[in-house]
Amino acid sequence: MIAIFLMRYTMLRSIIAIIVAVVAGMFVARFFEIVVGAAFAPAGGAQGAVTAGHQLLLVVGWTIAAFAAAALSLLIGKRWAPLGWLGAATICLLAVISIASAAVSWLLWPGAIAGAGFGGWSAVKLLRGDYTHPARRDLSAR
């Protein structure tokens, strides 16, 4: 019943796609940040400088999270490409907030933005996202 309802109403489907994708992407990003942080934690629990390897793995984690958010929103939202970009942009915002709240190098900013952009772009390309709204595609198929 819910699936039939979501198939018919594309706006509600898009909203649900973004919410689910962003929550899943945030989970992936935070999980990756916690695992990488624990792997590179200095001995004795003291707060130290963040190493280059730690920063590189953070960028990789944000790229994977942006890909996951974009791919999930594309799959739920009938492969409408703007949903994928919105999911990736939200993960980029999460990365910027994480960078602003930690003592890391300024070189991590462009890496996070480029990584999130690449994750979104690759999900849109891999899943063949379409820029035509799903309602218009359904009308032209008739």
| Residue 140 maps to a domain | no
Class of residue 97 by CB neighbours under 10 A (exposed 0-12, middle 13-18, buried 19+): exposed
The 3-class SS string of the chain reads: CHHHHHHHCHHHHHHHHHHHHHHHHHHHHHHHHHHHHHHCCCHHHCCCCCCHHHHHHHHHHHHHHHHHHHHHHHHHCCCEHHHHHHHHHHHHHHHHHHHHCCCCCCCHHHHHHHHHHHHHHHHHHHCCCECCCHHHHHHHCC
| Residue 1 maps to a domain | no
More confidently predicted of 133 and 95: 95
pLDDT band, very low/low/confident/very high, at 117 (cuts 50, 70, 90): very high
Total domains in the chain come to 1
Please give the pLDDT value at position 1. Answer: 55
Average pLDDT over residues 62-85: 93
| Residue 5 maps to a domain | no
Average pLDDT over residues 65-91: 93
| Residue 70 maps to a domain | yes
| Residue 106 maps to a domain | yes
Q: Tell me the per-residue pLDDT of 16-38, one tens digit each, with 9 for 90 and over.
A: 999 999 999 999 999 988 898 88
Average pLDDT over residues 95-113: 86
| Residue 18 maps to a domain | yes
Q: Which amino acid does the sequence have at 16? A: I
Structure-block tokens of residue 71: 């791919």
| Residue 141 maps to a domain | no
Q: Which residue range forms the structural domain that includes residue 109? A: 11-39+49-133
Q: What are phi and psi of 34, to 5 degrees?
A: -70, -45
On average, the pLDDT of the chain sits at 85
Please give the pLDDT value at position 99. Answer: 87
More confidently predicted of 8 and 51: 51
| Residue 4 maps to a domain | no
